[in-house]
Amino acid sequence: MAELGHDLRSLAALVELPAERDLWPGVEARLAARPDRPWLRAAVAILVAVALGIGIAFAVTPARSAILRFLGLEGVSIVRVEKLPPVRTNPAVIGTPTTLAGAEKALGFKPLLPRIGAPDALFLDPSRVAALIAYGKPLRLRLEETRLGVFQKVVDFRAHVGRVTVNADPGVWLTGTHVFDDFFSQPRLAANALIWEHDGITYRLEGRLTEDQALRIARSVPH
């Protein structure tokens, strides 16, 4: 184990990582557009602090291999590790059942539905300022839409991570089981996922989909 740590530290010296991005200007601009929600500023400040703290922890541990950041996706970090950390089995859906009108009133933005038919359920997660659109019983496809697009994914070396575009917006596509951590709930295992951002909203589509299937669904969202 000591030799492995030494080798990884040596490898890290040869890997050029992009400069750390200052997340606060983008967050502050979003908050300025919503002056009627003063609690949101405090929530985001806490969230960013937690995210940065966890990012630093990953950066100094010998077990980490690389931290990937994607331009255009504020707050989204992808960490490659040799072995996924153990996580508990968590509920597939966290939130309160709601309607599109109810979600729009609570979140301050209108959740957008892909053109794949009516969802089976819609949930509201006020802690993350997020809407979860669920398809299938049991759940087989989920689309999360949130203003607080600050979260972390932990993947191993078998996972594919690649840049994509969704209607000209930057995104990232991940294949393989990975750990999803939004810093509000317990980290959980997640399936293939497509993440993109448009007009200040971060979208995350998850399910047992191919890249082509995920992109077709994402591009059908009426931005």
**Residues 66, 88: Cα–Cα separation, whole Å:** 24
Pull the structure tokens for residue 38. Answer: 């003063």
Which strands form 151-155's sheet, in the order they lie side by side? 64-69, 76-81, 151-155, 178-181, 188-190
> If you average pLDDT over every residue of the chain, what do you get?
75
H or E element that contains 144: strand 141-146
**Residues 155, 140: Cα–Cα separation, whole Å:** 21
Task: Tell me the pTM.
Answer: 0.70
List, in order, residues 6 or more apart from 156 with CB less than 8 Å away: 80, 81, 82, 83, 84, 176, 178
Q: In this predicted model, what pLDDT tens digit does every residue of 106-136 receive, in sequence order?
A: 999 999 999 998 999 999 987 778 899 999 8
**Residues 217, 213: Cα–Cα separation, whole Å:** 6
**Residues 166, 195: Cα–Cα separation, whole Å:** 9
Torsion angles phi and psi, residue 16, rounded to 5:
-90, 115
List, in order, residues 6 or more apart from 161 with CB less than 8 Å away: 68, 78, 80, 155, 172, 173, 174
Q: In this predicted model, what pLDDT tens digit does every residue of 140-160 receive, in sequence order?
A: 899 999 987 778 888 988 889
Single-letter amino acid, residue 181: D
Decide: 153 and 190 in contact? Cβ < 8 Å.
yes
Single-letter amino acid, residue 72: G
CA angle 27, 30, 35 (to 5 degrees): 120
Q: In this predicted model, what pLDDT tens digit does every residue of 28-75 receive, in sequence order?
A: 555 455 445 534 544 554 455 445 444 434 443 433 445 555 555 777
**Residues 83, 98: Cα–Cα separation, whole Å:** 37
